[in-house]
Amino acid sequence: MKVELFGMARAIAGVSHVELALDEPVALTELVRALGEACPALIPDVIVAAGDALVEPNLLLLDGRRALPDGARFVAADRPCVMFLPSGG
Amino acid sequence: MSAYAGPRDLLEVDLTARTWRKRALGDDVFADALGGVALAVRLIDERVRGPLEPLDPANPIVLAAGPFASTPVPAANKHALATISPLTGLLNEGLSSSHFSAVLRRCGLAAIVITGACDAWTTLAIDGDEVRFEDASALAGLSARDATKALRDEYGDRSLRVCAIGVAGERGVRFAAVENDGRQAGRGGTGAVFGAKRLKAIALRGRGEVAIADAGATAALSATLRARALGPKTAKYRVLGTSANLRVLQRMGQLPTRNFTAATFAGAENVTPERARESGETYLELRAGCAGCPVQCEHLYVRRDRDRRSAAASEYESVWAFGPNCGVDDLEAVLDAIARCDTLGLDTISTGSAIAFAMECAEHGLVARDAFGQELRFGNAAVLLPAIDAIATRRGLGDALADGVRAAAQRIGGGAVRFAMHCKGLELPGYEPRALPTYALGLATCTRGACHNRAATYDRELRDPSSDRGETLRARDAVEAENRAIAWDSLVLCKFVRDCFEDFEAEGAALWTAVTGVPLDAEGLVAVAQRTWERKRAINARLGWTPDDDTLPERLFAEPIADGPHAGRRVEPERLDALRAAYEALRRAGGVTAAVG
């Protein structure tokens, strides 16, 4: 599954996206764990130390425009993006 | 009522009579209006009681200190500026920050009100308890930065703090900025009001103590906020800067492009300063920020083969205005445009929007393509600097653009109004309202015009722009966002630490109580915001505002988004009317009185 990275996630990982081997459909915690294993540098600034959640204000948006409902699963075609919400200046 | 602990003097200056007086503001004033924007609005409300021409000497300029300035509270060295905007004809209130704000309070001042006009260029010098009117003829034509340097040389004092205008303010450009310490109060043309008064600069020197009611509680609360402000909540500002918005908005399909004729920009990656940072080969990145702020959000870039002093701030709105909005994909040209605006004292959003408007007018044959010596068309980086210079000096087409796109469209005629992207005369910032209905409502109703910092509902909407949130909830979101912005701007705290609070209203009120000694709770803070909003609306009504003014540019109704994931979306007039009705009903009922969750 391709995961696009923006903001701090991209700055720390040094890449615009990562490919993760995941069984679909995927839950958010599964994706975050796999992302942390692929890019350990994302812990603790983007992924919490426990490895199972994103550190606010980072969040997962599907296709860059839809938040994941609680408990929902998604597939690669949903185009997951780790990003932040634009704001300010 | 508990006594307010901080500096409480109001300095009233009459530039025509060259007189001044100081008087202490009562505790009731601070309990009612805290400081910053709320205090500035209250002082304008007391003085503007009917129609007023913004460039008339009677138009007051108010500077109101943030009540946490020159205290240990981080991200709080800020002050408000308010006046009647020459761009909108309505109330304009904004913020600037850093050392100037702190020294304002060390001069013992809570606020300054300036009326009248000088016969010749003047510096208003506030030197401790003294106030002087000094000849500034030698400063005319200088940038704010050079004027500051000249005044410091004259005083022999590097710690002198100065706010000043550049050439644009002197020439009455209606979106001229006021600059201090490299920070700008940019929007709405306060710089033109300075210029109309022949007020080139205000110089401050003060070393007074700033009293704090409960130093222990203030230190503890400030330490907590500072620690949070150094954490992940502000990392995007500290590490990347606001220009990181550009890549994200492009991915979201929410990046206004070529004067809002598209919502994605093929050249976006070329102008994102993140890319320059990542490569590190061509550009040098420098950091800056306000005094006393742990975030230090400003990221400046300069080509490695150029003088470091020409580094340009890469704020998102500025990069957007000259990049995507003008269809320019040349980062160096965009940075040069931003730097030139800062030198001349121009608001970057309005300047970029005016040039984008002119580009579209040229494409439709309404203005000459060679009006600025270079071809006036979207994507032509070479036209940016000549256009900016012409605007700042009011030459040729630049003279029309210097009055803002609303007035320029009237002057150009031929249907140019279709290309004028503004609300109440203030040019739109860089978010796509057609895909964000609550943000669109906020832009339409904002008392200042199209201001993203007062209609900041986009962060909630961007999570899920397709959600079916009804009119009442959207109206509530808009009111909450406006009230919260007023609260931030009256305490005053930088909005970039907004995510560092678990319960902003309660924690902000606790900070206020610790610093000033005047009791305030969360509900009281929201009430200050509602009261201040009512004053803003009342001032605007006296100046001629009517409900019909709370609308959006014609393009947003008539032309659906042309590209990207939100293609086909537009603002439906009936929907905006319903949202406005819900918003007005909520405001009439006293706003959202509960603390915002």
pLDDT, one tens digit per residue, over B540-575 is 999 999 999 999 999 999 999 999 999 999 999 999
Q: How far is B17 from chain A (nearest CA, A)?
A: 39
Q: Is A61 on the interface with B (CB under 8 A)?
A: yes
Q: What are phi and psi of B163, to 5 degrees?
A: -115, 140
Q: What angle do CA B467, B458, B298 make, to 5 degrees?
A: 150
pLDDT for B386: 98
pLDDT for A89: 55
Are A27 and A1 within 8 A, CB to CB? Answer: no
DSSP assignment of B221-266 equals HHHHHHHHHTSGGGHIIIII-GGGHHHHHHHHT---BTTTTBS--T
Are B243 and B321 within 8 A, CB to CB? Answer: no
Q: How far is B464 from chain A (nearest CA, A)?
A: 5
Model confidence over A44-79: pLDDT tens digits? Answer: 999 999 999 999 889 999 999 888 888 899 999 999
Tokens of B280: 């590190």
C-beta atoms of A8 and B463 within 8 A: no
Model confidence over B228-242: pLDDT tens digits? Answer: 999 999 999 999 999
Burial class (CB in 10 A: 0-12, 13-18, 19+), B23: exposed
Confidence at B593, pLDDT banded by 50, 70, 90? very low
Tokens of B155: 């005083």
Query: What does pLDDT average to over chain B?
Result: 95
pLDDT for B592: 57
C-beta atoms of B251 and A89 within 8 A: no
Q: Is B219 on the interface with A (CB under 8 A)?
A: no
Q: Is A23 on the interface with B (CB under 8 A)?
A: no
pLDDT for B458: 76
Tokens of B180: 């201090």
pLDDT for B596: 34
pLDDT for B595: 34
* Residue entry with tokens 């690669």: A76
Q: Is A24 on the interface with B (CB under 8 A)?
A: no
Residues 321-380 of B with CB under 8 A from A: none
ipTM of the complex: 0.96
Give the C-alpha separation, B506 to B330, whole Å.
46
Say if residue B597's pLDDT is above 70: no
Model confidence over B106-137: pLDDT tens digits? Answer: 999 999 999 999 999 999 999 999 999 999 99
> Which chain B residue shows the shortest CA-CA distance from A13?
B278
pLDDT for B3: 94
Model confidence over B180-214: pLDDT tens digits? Answer: 999 999 999 999 999 999 999 999 999 999 999 99
pLDDT for B594: 39
